[in-house]
A and B are shown apart, each in its own frame.
Chain A
Amino acid sequence: MIRLENLTKVFDTPKGAVVAADHINMEVPSGEICILLGPSGCGKTTTLKMINRIVKPSSGKVFINGDDTTGMDTQDLRRNIGYVIQQIGLFPNMTIEENIAVVPKLLGWDKARYKERARELMHMIALEPDAFLKRYPSELSGGQQQRIGVARALAADPPVMLMDEPFGAIDPINRAVIQDEFLKMQQDLKKTIMFVSHDIDEAIKMGDRVAVFREGKLVQYSSPDDLLAAPKNAFVESFLGEDRALKRLNLVKVAEVVSDEIGTVKPEDTLTTALARIDDFGYQNSILMINDKRQPVGLISRSLARTTKGYCRDHFQNVPATVSLDDDLRKVASLMFAQDITWLPCVDEEGRVCGQITQRAMTHHLGARFRTKQRETSAVAAEPKE
């Protein structure tokens, strides 16, 4: 857990005092990733660097796991906080192994233990230890270097990590891969992480919580979903962008929106039965055909069922796409737009149909948050003045 209490930094510049961070109060619960988000010069990096005292706080306190860090020795404090920076900062004079072992060596681990730890970490970041440990940073690609940077920060297994735009200098494709790998690692590691970013999409993807900064002040601190659904003021709203409702698609899983009510036909049913089912369920265009294992095998279109006689097995089209329960709505929306359809069948891990997801259900789910907010604000406005 990281708790900041009235943390303030005032820089003396020739033009006068500049308040880079103004009485920041926030708490990151153990095992969560908190993203510090904001435009450049908003104080997010200053706030992060005050935690490990790269920037000395002007006033205020930092608590780590409940302990006030004010009186702690700076070196001890830093050795127990993993630190990853955008410029990566691997030491070019040391091999990968030496780079990873830096903190364990400072902590006085014996040789066998830190060598073993280096191999373990290489496996964790999916780089072959034998191929990489003896090489030098300059021989690695940017993405590989930053993986090592993360491994170095994790080496002594610190409970807390600070990451200053760690994936900012990596190309977009590699960045997405590293973000996914990191999230997967975090599921097991459960570190308490503060993470600076200026990229709203990264914040939504990586963060359990997002703290939006502006001109040294913490403007809003909430979950990504709350942030997108209920931005506190015009600044946050404009920073999130006009498509913030679409960004929420990333955050919602199919499982939350899926309806298990789905009409289906079997191959041996007649087209007449199919037409009746389509009308019963109120479908506009087609109905799903499934086999004995409840796996989707085809679509029977309404126009065909109305004009033709025969069995379903002879007159079906291919299923355009299916989605699984842990896909996010962004993927669903993308598939719908690509196929020009308004619903998709959902399948479980064994590929059995377990429900359907419709455009209507998606808009309803996303809109629900906005509707309650509007109702709240109108209720406040309607309250009679005494």
Chain B
Amino acid sequence: MLIRSLKSAGLVLALIVIFLLGVWAQASGAIDDFLWYLPDVQYLVVQHLWLTFLSGSLAILVAIPLGVWLSRPSMAKAAESMMQVLNVGTTIPTLAVLALSMSFLGIGTVPAVFGLFVATLLPIARNTYAGLKGVSPALKEAAAGIGMSPTQRLLKVELPNALYVIFAGIRTALTINIGTVPLAFLIGAGGLGELIFTGIDLYDPIMMLSGAIPTALLAILVDALVAGVAFIVVPRGVNPARA
């Protein structure tokens, strides 16, 4: 009872604070200042998402087959060391990766997409590998004993049962990706980083926030979107969200 009334009191308080912030923003002209950047934001969001889309889909297309390949019994010995190589790969800061790819590929979209692709690859590959390795040996034995070919086992039993974990990897990877795209501005690929970094350089907080807030919102939105896809795609029997 006490907790519930505290909760509703907190809610009312939060609404009042938001309202007051709105009033202050309007009174100080901040809203108008933000709106001044709207055309820029619209243009940059598209560019931002385009970078994420290119690097993200490339990473998914490469990482899932890579994870599948590493999880095959014939790869059992090499797989762990390969995963270690990938792990070391992620410890390299994304900024360094972008710098490196710029030195080889020049400036613009191509080196940015490549750098983002490298940063996004690992969480997906690792989750695909772990998800497939995590499928219970009893299921694999049952599938084999029933007379499924290795391909049928992979497609009908192993992948559907690993799908939830794979989607978790995609969610993490794409969220990181959206958050990393602003760095791509530094090698001339555009995106919301343009507002953020220019804002910082010009000591213009409104300009910086006009880039930062949409970036955060995009990350949340993409995460929710992938979660929604997972909810529909992962079979009900192995989907904790639908249990």
Contacts and interface: CB of A to CB of B under 8 A. Distances in A.
Interface string B151-165: 010001100110100
Interface string B112-126: 000000000000000
Contacts of B236: 136
A52 B238 contact: no
Interface stretch (A89-97, A190-198, A224-232, A308-316): A89-97
The DSSP consensus for interface residues of chain B is: helix
A57 interface: no
Interface residues on A, range: 20 to 34
Contacts, number: 76
B218 interface: no
B147 interface: yes
Contacts of A78: 144-147
Contacts of A137: 237
A106 interface: yes
A165 to B, nearest CB: 12
Interface string B137-150: 01101111111110
Interface string A126-153: 0000000000111000000000000010
A166 to B, nearest CB: 12
Contact of A93 (B145, B149, B235): B235
Interface string A149-169: 000100000000010000000
A94 B152 contact: no
B88 interface: no
Contact of B148 (A75, A94, A136): A75
Given A78-B146, A78-B147, A83-B145, A92 B238 contact: yes
B161 A93 contact: yes
A88 B138 CA distance: 8
A266 B137 CA distance: 68
B243 interface: yes
Contacts of A89: 136, 138-139, 141-143, 145
A81 B142 CA distance: 12
Interface in B4-36: none
A103 B139 contact: no
B138 A92 contact: no
B237 A75 contact: no
A79 B149 CA distance: 11
B237 A79 contact: no
A130 B243 CA distance: 20
Contacts of A91: 139, 142-143, 156-157, 160-161
Given A87-B138, A88-B138, A136 B144 contact: no
A106 B243 contact: no
A80 B147 CA distance: 8
Interface in A55-108: 75-81, 83, 85, 87-95, 102-103, 106
A81 B243 CA distance: 33
Contacts of A138: 237, 243
A92 B157 CA distance: 9
Contact of A136 (B136, B138, B152, B237): B237
Contacts of A92: 139, 161, 237-238
A76 B147 CA distance: 7
B147 A75 contact: yes
Given A75-B147, A137-B237, A93 B138 contact: no
B138 A94 contact: no
A95 B160 CA distance: 13
A54 interface: yes
Contact of B147 (A79, A94, A95): A79
Nearest to A106: B147
Contacts of B157: 91, 93
A55 to B, nearest CB: 11
A94 B158 CA distance: 12
Nearest to A77: B147
Contacts of A52: 145
A317 to B, nearest CB: 57
Nearest to B234: A93
Contacts of B136: 87, 89
B30 to A, nearest CB: 51
Contacts of A79: 146-147
Interface in B203-238: 235-238
Most A CB contacts (10 A, CB to CB) among B136, B142, B235 go to B142
B142 A85 contact: yes
Contacts of B148: 75, 102, 106
A83 B161 contact: no
Contacts of A76: 147
A344 B160 CA distance: 60
Interface of A: 52, 54, 75-81, 83, 85, 87-95, 102-103, 106, 136-138, 152, 162
20 contacts: A54-B141, A76-B147, A79-B146, A81-B145, A83-B145, A87-B136, A87-B138, A87-B142, A88-B142, A89-B139, A89-B143, A89-B145, A90-B142, A92-B139, A93-B237, A103-B147, A136-B236, A136-B237, A152-B146, A162-B145
Given A87-B141, A88-B138, A103-B146, 9 more contacts: A54-B145, A79-B147, A88-B142, A89-B139, A92-B161, A94-B160, A102-B156, A136-B237, A138-B237
- Top 7 A-B pairs, shortest CB-CB distance: A89-B142, A136-B237, A87-B138, A79-B147, A78-B147, A83-B145, A93-B160
